[in-house]
Amino acid sequence: MLDTFSKKNLKFGSFQEDQFMENHLFKTVDHPRLLVLACAVMEQELRRFQNGQAEFKFLDYGLHRTPENMTKALQVEIDQVQEEDYDGIVLGYGLCSNGIVGLHSSKHSLIIPRIHDCISLFLGSPEAYRKQSAEYPGTYYLTPGWIERGQTPISKYESYARSYDEETARWVLHEEMKHYTRIALIDTGVYPIELYREGAKENAKFLGVAYEELRGSPQLFRELICGPWEQNFLIVEKGHSVQQEMFLDL
């Protein structure tokens, strides 16, 4: 359980955050063996930092649609490796509509980016995401991985059109998307962005909104796999669970 929580003094389990970073967790391990559980839309961004010690398992993007299903699926994956000799389990997820709240391991520490959702990972920092959100609050973000494995406005419409007539499908999509004023394609540098540009522009045209490309950063992806796990990360000690309060001051 969460013993105490404040912006300057975070305690998760029996340790204090600023005393329990990378060197404390792995002070006797030169190359920690990690299991990485992450959303499939970020597979290529994470695999570029494969160091021979990290094992990856990527879960379907569709889990985001029902956060309680995300919690169940991730907990199953964590429980299945309780007998494995990992030094830690890395989660390639943010709070994600509370989809990771309650996750716990009786044997392994959980290493988690302290972010609301994965856009901070693709942009490189929570600060970069906050800046974009303040300047362009009505933004629908796309990445190549998101286009390949996630959802786009057009794919949402096509899904609705299988259940409704065309007019109703367009109305449902319009109601869902009416607050968006921009589509932003994030270039993380691992895909040839020109292969995805036209598709992203088509989605912007379909919604009748502005289109822009943003330069992403590998910084948080690198830190997620290689450390150091400092101000942008949580380390939840074995026997303790992820709590919503850990993310409240973001």
- Taking only the tens place, the pLDDT of each residue in 199-244 is 999 999 999 999 999 999 999 999 999 999 988 999 999 999 999 9
Q: What pLDDT is recorded for position 21?
A: 40
What is the C-alpha separation between 246 and 249, in angstroms, rounded?
Answer: 8
pLDDT of 200: 97
**The pTM is what?**
0.86
The pLDDT score that the predictor gives to residue 223 is 95
Provide the token pair at 126. 């929570």
**CA separation for the pair 142, 150 (Å, rounded):** 9
**Cβ–Cβ under 8 Å, residues 153 and 203:** yes
pLDDT in tens, 120-129: 999 999 999 9
Across the range 182-196, mean pLDDT stands at 96
Averaged pLDDT, 78-91: 96
pLDDT (tens digit, 9 = 90+) per residue, 5-55? 333 334 444 333 433 344 445 544 567 899 999 999 999 999 999 988 899
* Residue matched to tokens 């959702």: 117
pLDDT at position 52, please? 86
Q: What is the pLDDT of residue 30?
A: 62
Give the pLDDT confidence of 92-114 residue by residue, as tens digits. Answer: 999 999 999 999 999 999 999 99
Residue 198 has pLDDT above 80, yes or no: yes
% of the chain exceeding 90 in pLDDT: 79
The residues near 173 (Cβ < 8 Å, ≥ 6 apart) are 153, 156, 157, 160
Backbone phi and psi for residue 128, each to the nearest 5 degrees, phi listed first: -65, -40
pLDDT tens, residue by residue, 137-155: 999 999 999 999 878 999 9
Position 133 scores a pLDDT of 96
| Tokens (6 digits) for 234 | 């949580």
